[in-house]
Structure 1
Amino acid sequence: MNTCWISPSYFPQIKASILEARTKIQPISSKPDFPTEKIESFLPFNVKSITSTSNPFVKHCLKLRQNSSYRHSHGSVLVVGSTPIREIYSFQERVPERPITLDCLLVLDEAHIPEDLNLQSVRLVRISSTVMKKLSGLQSIDSIEMIALMKIPSTFHSVDDEFLEEDCSTWFENAHRVLVLDGIQDPGNLGTLLRSAMAFGWGGAFLLPGCCDPFNEKALRASRGASFQLPLVSGDWLHLDALRNHYNMKILAGHPANDQKPRRISRLTRDFTDSLADKPLCLVLGSEGGGLSEKAKDSSELVSIPMTGEFESLNVSVAGGILLYMLQPENHKDLSSG
């Protein structure tokens, strides 16, 4: 064994070299560019069917369904059930300029392959009922015959601190009406609100911190595929203020009329909504338990839904549906050109 002795006089130089090398190491981003791994690494092309839940590809799909950070790092989403898959395909046919990538379609053994879906370039893999139950997370799979592995759509933007205000023009094709969700944690409520925004012609949704992932399995089920159809932006109030300034938008926030603090709260009436017909606006809806954040209250004009009953407030998805309907654009305004 050879031993190399280093004179103590060299220690300061060695320490300085190590510190210099450390400063040149770039930190790994917490938001890696996706996809970090290709589907081929989990599912070889010669595989036509899967019967075991211990298959590496099944484990990959399971993590996509259960883990938000895993989903976004891979840029992939597991869509469970024929209904949302058909909704997404139907939207693709109506709006071909927003391409949606389907990597793989997992079809239950002996189930009929739908003829109305354009699956010529889509990989089909048959799976057993055991695998289907595992991936779907459902006790009963009587109505579940398909699961799709799809790319997170390009209409989803996660904004970081390095953005420029002019980037706002790329977030929404139509910024006349934008839904803002302030800490909506229940995926069922979030999915329902996205579905309502899509139904009433809103241009997109802005998700503030505290919101659940719109590609969460329950949110996808409630949205019926709206997470793939509606432009979505995940950011904070700094980014929302930039959007407001860019389009000179008005910010409204849904709020109960019985607020204890001396705030001016407008009533949701036809005259009120008519006065805003030509004004680009954001509608902020607060969390299920805590309601609007103080920032939302201070930055918005509060508006309440008139109620003759004795309840203090409505469920956020119900109240949101009413507000989205009343404030829906009569004529779609294309403000993408600024």
Structure 2
Amino acid sequence: MEAITSRENAKIKYACRLREEEKLRAADGLFFAEGPKLCLELARGCELRTLYATAAALARTPALSRFADRTVEVAPHVAEKLAGTRSSQDVFGIFVQPVTDADALLGTARRVLALEGVQDPGNVGTLLRSAAAFGFDAVLLGPGCAAPFAPKTLRASMGAAGRLPFAAVRDLPAALTALRSRGVVCLAAALYHSEPLDTAPRAYPGGLCVVIGSEGRGLTDPTVAACDRAVRIPMTDLVESLNAGVAGSVLLWHFRGV
């Protein structure tokens, strides 16, 4: 097994750049993940290119042994450099980003989560995890959304980004129109000109797309107009709104397909 003891090793420097730079992740089609549990989860749906781990971490997690042919042992001080968190988990993976054709997704997906302007990686990760938990089979990412394979998003999604097909679309209203053209009902989460969630039908035989915007701005008018109807979550007057991760998860649970 290859071993690295220098923090200045070229492979370690590249892994750190991959952790920090979205442009590099997009250009190379790779992403960086930290932690034994997250790496094992991601390996169920994504190709693992290289696993970096300390000897102690490998001993603590025998399940990692199945990646022995792709494992590079690193010294503890090298693991500290690789860590994107204050306390290193001593296991790091470089994975190949799965690629989904947007046209194919729009032509086949039946239970879809669509996001617009959800910039917080924690919210995007939470929504990906909820979509996987509640039986949705695809995700559309409109303009302004946090990258699904950024480290913070990955941690919040706990590997769901590797199990759900998703596609980034520049024109979300056009994508919603394409879904509606084949019978998928699109529901916008909106505070105004909307109906209470508990009055909306729960069953959609032709398919369903739940559309979520950011907490601060919500959905744009063109996106709301591209949907079949708008729904809101009934709440008390004690709070003005829920963040996108919470609100979206409530909607995904309400329209669950499990």
TM-score by length of 1: 0.70
Match of 1:53 among 4, 7, 12: 7
Task: Kindly state the Cα deviation for residue 246 of structure 1 after the two structures are TM-superposed.
Answer: 4.8
1:56-205, aligned counterparts within 5 Å? 56-89=10-43, 92=44, 100-113=46-59, 114-117=61-64, 119=66, 122-141=69-88, 144-154=89-99, 156-157=100-101, 168=103, 170-171=104-105, 175-205=109-139
Match of 1:321 among 241, 249, 253: 249
Q: Does 1:237 align with 2:171?
A: yes
Deviations 1:267-288 (A, max 9, x none): 111x5233x3324121111113
Residues in 2 aligned to 1:243 and 1:282: alpha-carbon distance in whole angstroms: 11
Q: SS at the partner of 2:41? A: helix
Task: Indicate the larger mover: 131-140 or 71-80.
Answer: 131-140
Deviations 1:176-217 (A, max 9, x none): 210000011100000000000000010111000111110000
Aligned to 1:15: none
Aligned to 1:251: 186
Does the CA-based 8 Å contact 1:108-1:129 persist in structure 2? Answer: yes
Q: SS at the partner of 1:233? A: strand
Pair 50,243 (structure 1): closer, same or farther in 2 beyond 3 Å: farther
Does the CA-based 8 Å contact 1:185-1:288 persist in structure 2? Answer: no
Task: Kindly state the Cα deviation for residue 242 of structure 1 after the two structures are TM-superposed.
Answer: 5.5
Q: Which runs of 4+ in 1 moved over 6 A?
A: none
Match of 1:207 among 121, 125, 141: 141
Pair 118,235 (structure 1): closer, same or farther in 2 beyond 3 Å: farther
Residues in 2 aligned to 1:117 and 1:140: alpha-carbon distance in whole angstroms: 20
Alignment root-mean-square deviation, CA = 2.2
Task: Kindly state the Cα deviation for residue 145 of structure 1 after the two structures are TM-superposed.
Answer: 2.6
TM-score by length of 2: 0.90
Aligned length: 255
Task: Kindly state the Cα deviation for residue 121 of structure 1 after the two structures are TM-superposed.
Answer: 6.3
Structure 2 unmatched runs, 5+: none
Aligned to 2:217: 290
Task: Kindly state the Cα deviation for residue 294 of structure 1 after the two structures are TM-superposed.
Answer: 1.8
Does the CA-based 8 Å contact 1:249-1:282 persist in structure 2? Answer: yes
Q: SS at the partner of 1:105? A: strand
1:5-16, aligned counterparts within 5 Å? none
Task: Kindly state the Cα deviation for residue 322 of structure 1 after the two structures are TM-superposed.
Answer: 0.6
Letter in 1 for 2:239: F
Letter in 2 for 1:291: G
Decide which structure has greater helix share: 2
Aligned to 2:160: 226
Task: Kindly state the Cα deviation for residue 247 of structure 1 after the two structures are TM-superposed.
Answer: 2.5
Does the CA-based 8 Å contact 1:101-1:151 persist in structure 2? Answer: yes
Task: Kindly state the Cα deviation for residue 172 of structure 1 after the two structures are TM-superposed.
Answer: 6.7
Does the CA-based 8 Å contact 1:184-1:210 persist in structure 2? Answer: yes
Letter in 2 for 1:297: V
1:16-35, aligned counterparts within 5 Å? none
Deviations 1:143-175 (A, max 9, x none): x03111111113x44x5xxxxxxxx3x227962
Q: SS at the partner of 2:187? A: strand
Q: SS at the partner of 1:288? A: coil
Pair 210,100 (structure 1): closer, same or farther in 2 beyond 3 Å: same
Percent same amino acid among aligned pairs? 34
Aligned to 1:41: none
Q: SS at the partner of 1:139? A: coil
Residues in 1 aligned to 2:68 and 2:47: alpha-carbon distance in whole angstroms: 10
Aligned to 1:216: 150
Pair 120,85 (structure 1): closer, same or farther in 2 beyond 3 Å: closer
Does the CA-based 8 Å contact 2:176-2:226 persist in structure 1? Answer: no
Q: SS at the partner of 1:201? A: coil
Q: SS at the partner of 2:66? A: coil
Does the CA-based 8 Å contact 1:105-1:122 persist in structure 2? Answer: no
